[in-house]
Amino acid sequence: MSELRSPIRRILVALDDSPSSLFAIRTAIDLALCFRAQIVGLFVEDINLLRMAHLPFVREIGLFSIAPRPVDIDDLERQLRSQAERIRRVLAAAAEAHGIAWELLVKRGAVALEVMTAGADADLMVLGRVGRSYGQRPLGTTMRSILLQRPGLTFVLSAEVPKAAPVIVLYDGSEGANQALEIAATLVASDDGRLSVVLIAESREASQTLHEDASRRLATRGVNADYRAVRHPSLEGLAWWIRTLGSGLLVLPCGGHGLQGEGLCGLVEAVPNPILLVK
């Protein structure tokens, strides 16, 4: 692991007391073990909620009681603190069980902004695909901001990462693809798993070249892989290909082939797999 070109020393996990946050913690623990990294949890007290509590006519509808009730700012703050405390306990238990250094940051502000700000210092950010908001699309507003704006490595997940399924990596020979291949090889090697490489090329010859290149790189890591070649893929076609390869982790180099901006968001939405974005 220490052979990685971009060593991951600090992993930021965005946490919001949702079920996917638990998966995020587990995944962050696995990654921290793999890359010998430190975990930093981040819990943001949404400024919008606190503002809303001061509005005179706003009523809260309880999930169980349904009956509308006035929002009490003190009560709301206590609940937020309580959420943070729960997250602290879960994170502490998980990290300390594996001897991983950890800390929890509690910030108050706009969620997307705070996550982006805290993520600036992190080598890798792990966050749930869907947050606590009701009725969100497959990608929440925070997630969209991250996808569109955050450089570096970002791990997006909605459920537990299936261990048995093969890790999938897209490879087009670019710098980002080489980095993605290295990371995927590291993950596979540490977990004794399988690797599927999706070669994206313009021609059969180019595919062959990419195959040789990827094989050579993986051989140095002692990793074997299955190879699939995809020519001129649309985003929809690429998503279909990925789905056929199973529900394993997708290591996705961003930038080329429309994998940036809204295109990237579209692919992340279309693929249910956990995704490690490499920018």
Partner 1 sequence: MDKMAVNPLHPEQLRVRCAPESFTFENTGDLEDLDDFVGQPRARAALDFGLDMPRDGYHLFAMGESGSGRHPAILRFLEKKAARETIPDDICYVNNFEKQHRPGVLSLPAGSGKDFARRIENLIEDMRNALRAAFESEDFQNRRQSLDQELQEKQRRAFEQLQEMAHRKNLEPLRTPAGLVIAPVRDGEVIPPDELEKLPEDERAALKESAAELQIEAQKLFQKLPQWQREIREKQKDLVHEATRYAVGPLFDALRREYEGNQPVNDYLGSMETDVIDHAFMLFQAEGGQGQPREQKAPQLPGLSDPEAGGASPALRRYRVNVLVDNSDTRGAPVVYEDNPTLQNLLGRVEHQAHMGALVTDFHMIRAGSLHRANGGYLVIHVRKILQQPFAWEGLKRALRSGRIKIESPGQMFNIISTVSLEPQPVSLKLKVILIGSPWLYFMIGYHDPEFRQLFKVNVDFAQQMDRSEDNQKAYSRVIAGLVSQKALIPFGRDAVARTIEESARITGDSRKLSLHMEHLADLLRESDYWARRNGHRVVRAEDVQKAVDQRIFRSDRMREMMQEQIERNILLIDTEGARVGQVNGLSVMQLGDFGFGRPSRITARIRLGKGDVVDIEREVAMGGPIHSKGVMILAGFLGERYARQHPLSLSASLVFEQSYSGVEGDSASSAELYALLSAIAAIPISQSMAVTGSVNQHGQVQPIGGVNEKIEGFFDACSKRGLTGDQGVLIPVGNVQHLMLRADVIDAVERKAFAIYAVATIDQGIELLTGLTAGEPDDDGRYPEGSVNAAVQGALVQMARRRKAYAVTNAESENE
Residues of this chain that bind partner 1 (CB under 8 A): 17, 46-49, 51-52, 54-63, 66-68, 71, 76, 79-80, 82-83, 110, 130, 132-137, 141, 159, 162, 164-165, 246-247, 272
- Per the CB < 8 A criterion, the answer to whether 212 and 261 are in contact is no
User: In whole angstroms, what separates CA 249 from the centre of its chain?
Assistant: 10
Of 122 and 275, which has the nearer Cβ to partner 1?
Answer: 275
- Per the CB < 8 A criterion, the answer to whether 52 and 46 are in contact is no
CA dihedral 140, 184, 271, 173 (to 10 degrees): 110
Q: Which residues partner with 41 through β-bridges?
A: 13, 104
Of 130 and 169, which has the nearer Cβ to partner 1?
Answer: 130
Taking the complex as a whole, how short is the minimal distance between the CB of residue 58 and partner 1, in angstroms? 5
Taking the complex as a whole, how short is the minimal distance between the CB of residue 248 and partner 1, in angstroms? 10
Taking the complex as a whole, how short is the minimal distance between the CB of residue 242 and partner 1, in angstroms? 13
**Three-class SS state of 25:** helix
Of 55 and 121, which has the nearer Cβ to partner 1?
Answer: 55
Q: How far apart are CA 71 and CA 242, in angstroms?
A: 46
Taking the complex as a whole, how short is the minimal distance between the CB of residue 52 and partner 1, in angstroms? 4
- Per the CB < 8 A criterion, the answer to whether 17 and 132 are in contact is yes
Of 243 and 279, which has the nearer Cβ to partner 1?
Answer: 243
Of 2 and 244, which has the nearer Cβ to partner 1?
Answer: 244
Number of alpha carbons in the 13 Å side-chain half-sphere of residue 122: 30
Of 58 and 93, which has the nearer Cβ to partner 1?
Answer: 58
Tally of CB atoms within 10 A around 264: 21
Q: Beta 38-46 vs 102-109: how paired, if at all?
A: parallel
Taking the complex as a whole, how short is the minimal distance between the CB of residue 241 and partner 1, in angstroms? 15
Geometric angle at alpha carbon 127, from 123 and 133, rounded to 5°:
150
Of 105 and 110, which has the nearer Cβ to partner 1?
Answer: 110
Taking the complex as a whole, how short is the minimal distance between the CB of residue 61 and partner 1, in angstroms? 5
- Closest by CA to 31, choosing from 276, 278, 279, is 276
Tokens found for residue 161: 């990462």
Taking the complex as a whole, how short is the minimal distance between the CB of residue 133 and partner 1, in angstroms? 5
